[in-house]
Amino acid sequence: KEVTVPVLASDELGELAKAFNHMVKKNRKTSELVFQKTQETESLLLNMFPESVAKRLKRGEKHISDEAESVAILFANVLNFQRLTEELKPKKAIEILNEIVSAMDDATEQHGIEKIKTTGSEYLAVSGLSVARLDQTKRVIDFAIEAMRIVSQVNREYDTDLQMRVGVHSGSVMAGTVGSQRLIYDIWGDTVVMAHYVQSAAA
């Protein structure tokens, strides 16, 4: 609770009261600024990493490395995006891709999926990594169907011809943070490779 003292005199005690009140005001502004920056940092962490990883980084973990015996992986790739960049101005093409990715990000929360990363027009997500789930494969498949619906909706809205190719696989993975200046969180292993292969071989 903030406390100030009334300035009742113009002598040394009065000057001391003024100085105290000034210090209280300055401390309040500093506290508000620290709180604001803390909120911004938390928001940035949640934008860059899955929530469970963001919390661990906030607690001070420097290097995160995990293994999971059973997860379900999804690779989704938005096709024809390169052609879209040639037909439209880059700003508009990226705006359309961003709308798809943002909608998929929202869908991850609904389906209990963790987004790992987007690379170009590819989207990598996993279920069962931070939180073990008995129905992780069903969640990933439901998410894939939702992602295809999102692309169809964007096509109707913008009169585009984007398609989505999806690959799903389940198994074990390694996960962790790498880098120092630009820290990233990623997953590795044969399960990831196979999910990517299934995506690239899909119709």
Q: What is the mean pLDDT of residues 47-54?
A: 68
The mean predicted confidence, pLDDT, of the chain is 84
Average pLDDT over residues 82-92: 86
pTM summary value: 0.73
Specify whether the CB–CB gap between 140 and 134 falls below 8 A. no
70 versus 51: the higher-pLDDT residue is 70
Whether the pLDDT of residue 177 is over 70: the answer is yes
Q: Which helix (H) or strand (E) holds 94?
A: helix 90-111
Instruction: Identify which of 1-15, 25-39, 60-74, 116-130 has the greatest average pLDDT.
Output: 116-130
Q: Report how far residue 176's alpha carbon sits from residue 113's, in angstroms, rounded to the nearest whole number.
A: 17
Give the model confidence (pLDDT) of 116-130 as tens digits.
998 888 999 999 988
pLDDT above 90 (res 64): no
Edge-to-edge strand list for the sheet holding 163-178:
114-119, 122-127, 65-79, 163-178, 184-188
Are 72 and 128 in contact by the 8 Å Cβ rule? The answer is yes
Q: Is 187 helix (H, G, I), strand (E, B) or coil?
A: strand
Q: Name the pLDDT band for 194 (thresholds 50, 70, 90).
A: very high
